[in-house]
Amino acid sequence: MDKYGKNRQKSSAAQQMTMRSDVNNLMSARDLKKSFSNGGVTLEVLKRINFDLNVAETVAIVGASGIGKSTLLHILGTLDRPDSGTLLFKGENIFQFNDVKLARFRNESVGFVFQFHHLLPEFSALENAMMPALINRMSKQNAAEAAESILIRVGLKDRLKYRVGKLSGGEQQRVALARALVLKPSILLADEPTGNLDKGNSEQVHELLLELNQELAMTLVVVTHNMELASHLSRRVTIVDGMLKQIN
């Protein structure tokens, strides 16, 4: 075997070892930077973010307003791009994907829940929850079945045909959760998902998030000011001077 062949063999063995040891790794952010310019002033929000997320783990991002929590979540979900740094998903550098592949990744692998649900109020709960599946070119019947089953799971069996605008705040947020989960993403990113709900509804949604994390083996990253929820997740992080910091 020539020396190039040997090298290839070595590098493939090394690769396999890395893959074995990283079997639980879902996503890794390396040296992420993000600045915003406002009226000639540049604000460096994320300076050097390193963040590793394992399959099915639960992480809370906590901390004061304006430290960059939403900015980081948007980059992890590829809704926004970093100025520099890399984001690996199952070992693939996702910001190198072309637009079509990136859109497919976002649709299939990532679920989002926001503080305000961004549902279509004129459409039914079922139609809203079907949307990502239809975008993913699932047949209408399969999309409806998938949406119905997740809506039932989040406790909305009797609200399938209701127009979302007629539902309560807690019900709307559960539709948003169903929509985020209809394609069974590998990771759910939630930005203050219960910031707009009363205590009772918040607790219901928190319980659902934790149950679905277990049932779907889905990684859960939640930006929250709710320390009760944060305390139930496997770890808590914050952002200090643009860098990620673990907290107890």
Ligand X SMILES: Nc1ncnc2c1ncn2[C@@H]1O[C@H](COP(=O)(O)OP(=O)(O)OP(=O)(O)O)[C@@H](O)[C@H]1O
Running DSSP on this structure, what letter comes out for residue 111? Answer: E
Q: Is 68 in the site for ligand X (CB under 6 A)?
A: yes
How many residues form the binding site for ligand X (CB under 6 A)? 11
Q: Which stretch binds ligand X (CB under 6 A): 59-67, 105-113, 131-139, 229-237?
A: 59-67
**What does the DSSP assignment read for 178-202?**
HHHHTT--SEEEEESTTTTS-HHHH
Q: Is 70 in the site for Mg ion (CB under 5 A)?
A: yes
Q: Which does 45 bind (CB under 5 to 8 A by kind): ligand X, Mg ion, none?
A: ligand X
Query: CB-wise, 61 or 138, nearer to ligand X?
Result: 61
Q: Which two tokens stand for residue 27?
A: 């996503």
Sign of the CA dihedral with 106 first, then 226, 24, and 133 last: negative
User: Alpha helices, DSSP H only, in 31-139?
Assistant: 69-76, 99-109, 125-135
Query: CB-wise, 69 or 236, nearer to ligand X?
Result: 69
Determine contact, residues 147/119, Cβ cutoff 8 Å: no
Q: Is 42 in the site for ligand X (CB under 6 A)?
A: no
- Binding-site member from 8, 9, 19, 66 for ligand X (CB under 6 A): 66
Q: Is 71 in the site for Mg ion (CB under 5 A)?
A: no
- Binding-site member from 6, 8, 36, 165 for ligand X (CB under 6 A): 36
